[in-house]
Structure 1
Amino acid sequence: MASSYLKPISHVLLGISGGIDCLNSAKLLIQLWKVADRVTVVMTPAAMRMMPADSLRAINSTEVLTDPLTNHMSLPDSIDLFLIAPATANTIAKLSSGIGDNLLTTAAIALSCRRVVAPSMSSNMWENTIVQRNCKFLQDSNFHVIPPTVGTEVLELKECYGAMPNEKILVKLVLKHLRQQNTKEFTAFQP
């Protein structure tokens, strides 16, 4: 592993919720290890049903927190960035309502590090005014929202707006966010 002075991030907590884009989590994790000295993963129960935690543990011996009894107080103080990717409409709604009913949502509410949310859902869900309001509320609460992009909707096999950006673009956007002095430019919410 490279020395910490070569990597722009010391410790990333990757939160994975149970949307279809969680199947890309392994590729995202690999990209995060390229820019961070340490990456820890926390998964929602829905994500664990879609993506085996052991698949993520196999990447650079990543610590993956899946025990529902794990307390957010056990998370290290060294976390610089909490990236929730993918963030489902359900997870976004819980965060905007202050509901901490799993380790991912509890950690997002409790941690004081930078928090970045990458929504992933169908275009109908993304365009819903409730989801838009929840994302706006998160931004107003110091969460940084990376808007979704165009992707293939799995159920209908058609192009739609609502997919999480690919892992390389997502990491570039996170790094851009960390470099910026004025985060307002990066987080300007555009429904």
Structure 2
Amino acid sequence: MASLAGRFRGFLPVVVDVETSGFDPERNALLEVAAVIIGGEVGQLKPVASHHFHVMPFTGAVLDPAALAFTGIDPFQPLRGAVSEEDALRGIFRAVRTAVKAAQCRRAILVGHNAAFDLSFIKAAEKRSGVKNNPFHLFSTFDTVSLAGLAYGETVLAKAALAAGLSWDHAQAHSALYDAQQTAELFCKIVNSFDLNRIHS
């Protein structure tokens, strides 16, 4: 069985999901971030570790009431246990760098459902906080919208998950951790269904 290090040209797939206070990464706040590390042998990829932070809005962030209503997040609820953008990114980046090294990969690649959105908020928070050593490829991503559209004819995460035979709990949806875990399961199922030896023969 081939190792993960060779499956994606030395890139380790890491599923990321963010919850935010709007659509503009420069003006709106990062409120939650979750990362799910993918591991296992080629053909048997699986989620192996999850990391999750609630995040305090940066000073001056625009908090769109419609976005907050959609996610159900109260940014200033004291029981959230929220940390600064800097602490959240340091925690995520440290865990991902450790996983990249353990898998003998050279860098991580962000996997997401509408991955460009998640990457844009990570990069904006990175710039604001001054955190260094971002382990992710700066612009390349794997997007499960496209993968699920190809595999199942569905682009909405909930519908794609159900089409893939996965469970879906609407009560937990729009939590960064839940959405990242479901996206990871979806990504692994799609990738595992492709036999590279057959495709390349």
Q: TM-score, normalised by structure 1?
A: 0.34
Q: Which has the higher contact order (CA 8 A, sep 6+)?
A: 2
Larger Rg: 2
Q: TM-score, normalised by structure 2?
A: 0.33
